[in-house]
Structure 1
Amino acid sequence: MAHEIHLKNNKYRQWVKAGLGLGYLKEGLAPFCDDIGRQQYNYIINQIQQTKTPQPNVPCGVCQITTLQPDHVRVSKGICPLKQDKCNCCFPNNKTPCPNNVCGAIYDSIIQNHASIPPAPYWKNSDVQQWSTDPWSISKCFINAPGYKDKPSAVDTDCTGLLHVIINNTYFHSHIGCNITGPNNLFSKVRQYRNEIFHSSNMELEESKANCYIDDMIAVLQDNKGKACTSTRMAQQAVRKLQECKGLKISLREIKDENVKSSKNQQKNSATKDEYDDLKKKLLQLES
C-alpha cells in the first residue's frame, strides 16, 4: 500500500524522530518553566506588598485588561515611559485603577520584564482577574502567539509556548546559562526548528539534520552551564529520551506504537497545537 511505502522512507522516519524529540523537549522544559514562573510571581507580589501604599489586597479578581489603569503614567500624549506600543497609559480615558491596588503594578512588572524592544506582552493569552493568584497567568503574557489563554499550566502548554516564555521573559534569563539575548541563540534556534519540522511540505528530513536538531534540544535542556533547567528530574529524563531517540532506527511498528502512546498522553494534557497531536493527524492522513 502507498502509505506503507511512505513509512519505509528513511527521510520520513527522520522527520518523525525530530517530531518526537520536540515532545521530549517539552516534557523537560515544563517543570522548569513552572518553577521559575512561580518564583517570579512570588517576587512580584512580595515587591508590591512591600512598596505599595495603601497596602494591596490579594487576591483581586475584578480588573479587565481593556479598562485597567497602569501604575505608571504617560510621559506625554501617546508616549509610554516603559516604551510599550499602545500601552493603556497612552489612552487614559475610561481606564480605572485596580480597586485592590495590585493589578496595575503587575501590569507594569510584566512590561518591564518583557525582553523585546519595544516590550510587547500578548495580553490576549491571559486573564487579568487571575494575575494576583495564578503564576502561569502572568507567564502566559510572554507567549507572543495566540491560542494559550485556556492553558492553565506549563504542563498543558506546548513546546513553542514554553520557549516563548523563556525567550521573552528577562526574569528567566538569570536562570539560563547561555546568552539568550544574542543573535542565533540556542533557544531561538530550537524554536525555529519546531516551525521547520511541522511546516515541512513533504514531511521528510535528512538524518544529519534530524540529529542536529536533537543535539540542540539536548543542549537546551543541559543549558551548557548546568543551571536550573537541567537540574529537574524531568529534564534529565528528557535528555536520556532524546539521546536514545537520536540513535533510534525507527520502524513502521515503532512509529505507530509511539504515536498511539503519545496520543494518549496528549489527550490528558490537551496542549495547544501539540506536537504529538500534529504528528498523529498527519500519520492518520497518510494511513487513510
Structure 2
Amino acid sequence: MSEELKKNLNKQSNRNWVRAALSLRYFKQGFETFVRNEVRGHHADILKRLQEEEGVLSLHCGECTSDNLLPQHSVQKKCIQKNRKHCFCSEQFCRRHCPNKVCSYLYDYIVKAHSNNDPLWTNTDPSKWLTDYWELGKCFLSTFGYADKQSAADTDATGLLSIAINDTYIQERMDTDIESLAKVKDTRNIILHSAALSLEDDVVIKYIDEMIQVLQDRKAFASDATAKDAIVHLNELKNVQCHISFEDELEVREETLKAIEDMTHEKRIICNIIKQINFFIDIK
C-alpha cells in the first residue's frame, strides 16, 4: 500500500465513512438469512392456503404474465388494491383469469398480504410465482430496479428491508416495529450519499446501534448464528480504533459505486415510464 493511500485511509473523516459503509455490509449479512427464510415460508403458506381455502387442485402454471393475468377480484365491482391504477384489473383488455385457476387467486393473496395493499409489480414475473419463492417476495419491494435479482443474496439491504416492511407475514414474525426498520433503510441511503462528506464518531455509532437493535430482535433472530456474528462485527466497528484494511475500504467503495449506479439506472427507468405516460396523455 502506498504512503498516500495509507494517509487517506487514516483520515478520521474517511475512516468514519468506511466504518459506516462496512456496518451496512455486516447488517445485510445478518438480516439476509432471516428475510430469505421468511419469504420462503410465506410462499409455502400461501400455496397451502390456496388449496385449503380456495379449493385449488393444481399448483402448476406457467402461462400467466404481467401482460395477460387478470386478478380474481376483477369479478367484483371494487378493486382490492389500494391504488387501482397499479392493479392488473384497471386495464382488462387482453387479460384473462388464470386458465389453471391458481394465479388469479395468488395475485389477490399477495395484495392482501401487503401492508399497504399496494404491491409494486414491476420487479416480479407472475409466471414464476408458483415455483420461485423469491419471485413472489419481490412483490413486496418498494422501488424499481430489482427485476434481475434472483435471490436474497442478490438483493441489497434496502431491498431486504423493504420486503420486511411491506410483507405482513414477516412483520408477524418480528418484534421490531416498522419505524425501526424504516430508520435503518433511510440510514443506508444516507451513508451511500455521504462518501464525500464528514461523518462524526457519534453519528456512525448511532447508525450502528440502529442496525444492532434490529438484529437483536429475539423473536426473529433468537437462534440465528449469522445475525449474532454480524452483531459482533458491528460492535467492533463502534470502536474508532477498529482495524480497517485497505482491501475492506476498496470493497465498500466499489459496492457503493455499484449501488449508486443501480439507483441512477432506476431513475432512468422511472423517467422513461413518465415520458411514455405523458406521450399517451398528449395523444388523448
Alignment of 1:136-147 (within 5 A): 136-147=134-145
The equivalent residue for 1:285 is none
Alignment of 1:108-127 (within 5 A): 108-116=108-116, 119-127=117-125
1:247 to 239, 246, 250: 239
The equivalent residue for 2:94 is 94
Alignment of 1:1-288 (within 5 A): 5-53=7-55, 55-73=56-74, 75-76=76-77, 79-86=78-85, 87-116=87-116, 119-180=117-178, 185-200=179-194, 202-223=196-217, 226-250=218-242, 254-259=244-249, 262=251, 277-278=255-256
More helix by share: 2
Please give the alpha-carbon distance, in whole angstroms, between the structure 1 residues aligned to 2:44 and 2:182: 27
Please give the alpha-carbon distance, in whole angstroms, between the structure 2 residues aligned to 1:259 and 1:10: 13
* Structure 2: stretches of 5+ with no match in the other structure: 261-284
Q: Counterpart of 1:64 in 2: which secondary structure? A: coil
Cα 1:228–1:39, aligned 2, differ >3 Å: closer, same or farther?
A: same
Please give the alpha-carbon distance, in whole angstroms, between the structure 2 residues aligned to 1:145 and 1:127: 15
Please give the alpha-carbon distance, in whole angstroms, between the structure 1 residues aligned to 2:242 and 2:257: 15
Q: How far did residue 231 of structure 1 move?
A: 2.7
Asked if the contact 1:11/1:204 (under 8 Å) is kept, the reply is yes
229-238 or 63-72, which deviates more:
229-238
Please give the alpha-carbon distance, in whole angstroms, between the structure 1 residues aligned to 2:145 and 2:21: 20
Please give the alpha-carbon distance, in whole angstroms, between the structure 2 residues aligned to 1:99 and 1:280: 41
Asked if the contact 1:19/1:276 (under 8 Å) is kept, the reply is no
Q: How far did residue 27 of structure 1 move?
A: 0.3
Please give the alpha-carbon distance, in whole angstroms, between the structure 2 residues aligned to 1:101 and 1:257: 53
Please give the alpha-carbon distance, in whole angstroms, between the structure 1 residues aligned to 2:189 and 2:75: 38
Cα 1:59–1:203, aligned 2, differ >3 Å: closer, same or farther?
A: farther
CA RMSD after TM alignment = 2.3
How big is each residue's C-alpha offset from its partner over 1:176-222, in whole Å with a ceiling of 9 and x where there is no partner?
Answer: 10332xxxx11111111011111126242111000010011000111
Asked if the contact 2:42/2:169 (under 8 Å) is kept, the reply is yes
Cα 1:59–1:248, aligned 2, differ >3 Å: closer, same or farther?
A: farther
Amino acid at match of 1:234: T
Q: How far did residue 106 of structure 1 move?
A: 1.4
Q: How far did residue 100 of structure 1 move?
A: 1.5
Please give the alpha-carbon distance, in whole angstroms, between the structure 2 residues aligned to 1:121 and 1:99: 23
Percent identity at matched positions?
Answer: 35
Q: How far did residue 57 of structure 1 move?
A: 2.2
The equivalent residue for 1:266 is none
Cα 1:58–1:139, aligned 2, differ >3 Å: closer, same or farther?
A: same
Please give the alpha-carbon distance, in whole angstroms, between the structure 1 residues aligned to 2:93 and 2:162: 32
Cα 1:137–1:75, aligned 2, differ >3 Å: closer, same or farther?
A: same
* Structure 1: stretches of 5+ with no match in the other structure: 264-274, 283-288
Matched positions, count: 257
Please give the alpha-carbon distance, in whole angstroms, between the structure 2 residues aligned to 1:75 and 1:52: 16
The equivalent residue for 2:265 is none
Asked if the contact 1:29/1:221 (under 8 Å) is kept, the reply is yes
Q: How far did residue 56 of structure 1 move?
A: 3.7
Cα 1:41–1:83, aligned 2, differ >3 Å: closer, same or farther?
A: same
Q: How far did residue 85 of structure 1 move?
A: 2.5
Q: How far did residue 145 of structure 1 move?
A: 1.3
